[in-house]
């Protein structure tokens, strides 16, 4: 198990590094489409919003229930946001920071929650979807820092609206990048905790549960698998599945 986790950790770390998302962390250790493919993409993207992937909150809450330690250094530093220039990097790391935001909320890290809320809002603004993470949402989060259940509802709502906003503007590729970034970050944090955990079985079960949603993520990204940056990310995630 440890050999597999080490491989996956290195691979996922590499994926994030290529996306500009890993520097500063402290580890614990286009093709043309035919009509059928267009229909397939529309069906799959529509389906994910009706039956979305498990949220990062589900993973982080499992970590809390397993009494895993909170290691904020595993999160992507907010200072890295200045390095993301392309739309692809911004979208992937919007997902990454969204998972980090969930992690800080799950562990009641109030100051870090506001820090990650602000950086999430920054990237959303730069992707022209800032209405989902606006000043009103930030104020709601700040006013409910002591109420985790309310925070989860507010943040989950904002991310679902973000995905919906991207879809409505026919930016399904960016939407897939956001989902992939969130999946990768949740897996990265959990795999790093596994490496030093005393109760490895408990953390391994979380990794397995989270890993089961990889098939769905790959299904969502498959129609984009020959489109530039999406192809590279798809192939990296496919390598994780094969391992």
Write out pLDDT tens, residues 51-76: 347 778 889 999 999 999 999 999 99
Whether 126 is covered by a domain: the verdict is: yes
* pLDDT value at 9 more than 70: no
C-alpha 51/C-alpha 73 separation (Å) is 32
Give the residue among 31, 18, 20 at the shortest CA–CA distance from 228.
Answer: 31
Helix axes of 229-242 and 172-196: crossing angle, nearest 10 degrees? 40
In a domain, 114, yes or no: yes
**Confidence bin at 36 (pLDDT 50/70/90):** very low
Domain for residue 157, yes or no? yes
Sequence-ordered list of residues with C-beta below 8 angstroms from that of 161, at least 6 positions apart, any chain:
132
Total of domains in the chain: 1
Domain containing residue 147: 2-25+36-242
Tell me whether residue 118 is in a domain: yes
Whether 86 contacts 233, CB under 8 Å: no
Query: Tokens 């993301």 identify what position?
Result: 84
Which residues, including other chains, have CB under 8 Å from residue 107's CB and lie 6 or more apart? 60, 64, 70
3-class DSSP state of 109: coil
Compute the distance between CA of residue 67 and CA of residue 92 in angstroms, rounded to an integer. 29
- Grouping H, G, I as helix, E, B as strand and the rest as coil, residue 25 is coil
Q: Is the pTM of this model over 0.85?
A: no
Task: Count how many residues are written for the chain.
Answer: 243
pLDDT given for residue 231 in this prediction? 86
Average pLDDT, rounded, for the chain = 80
Element (H, E) at 68: none
Tell me what pLDDT residue 78 has. Answer: 96
Residue 20 within any structural domain of the chain: yes
Classify residue 90: in a domain, yes or no: yes
Domain membership of residue 31 (yes or no) is no
pLDDT exceeds cutoff 60 at 12: no
């Amino acid at each position: 198990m440890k050999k597999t986790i080490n491989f996956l950790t290195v691979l996922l770390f590499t994926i994030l590094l290529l996306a500009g998302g890993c520097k500063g962390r402290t580890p614990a250790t286009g093709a043309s489409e035919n009509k059928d493919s267009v229909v397939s993409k529309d069906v799959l993207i529509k389906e994910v919003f009706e039956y979305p992937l498990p949220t990062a909150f589900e993973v982080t809450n499992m970590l809390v229930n397993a009494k895993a330690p909170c290691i904020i250094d595993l999160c992507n530093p907010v200072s890295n946001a200045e390095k993301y220039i392309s739309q692809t990097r911004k979208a992937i790391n919007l997902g990454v920071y969204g998972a980090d935001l969930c992690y800080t909320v799950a562990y009641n890290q109030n100051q870090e929650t506001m820090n990650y809320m602000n950086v999430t809002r920054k990237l959303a603004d730069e992707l022209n979807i800032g209405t989902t993470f606006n000043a009103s949402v930030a104020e709601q989060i700040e006013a409910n820092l002591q109420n985790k259940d309310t925070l989860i509802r507010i943040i989950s709502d904002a991310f679902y609206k973000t995905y919906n906003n991207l879809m409505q503007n026919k930016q399904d590729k960016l939407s897939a990048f956001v989902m992939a970034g969130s999946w990768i970050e949740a897996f990265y944090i959990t795999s790093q905790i596994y490496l030093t955990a005393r109760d490895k079985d408990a953390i391994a079960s979380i990794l397995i549960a989270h890993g089961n949603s990889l098939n769905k993520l790959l299904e969502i990204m498959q129609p984009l698998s020959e489109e530039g940056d999406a192809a590279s990310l798809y192939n990296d995630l496919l390598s994780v599945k094969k391992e």
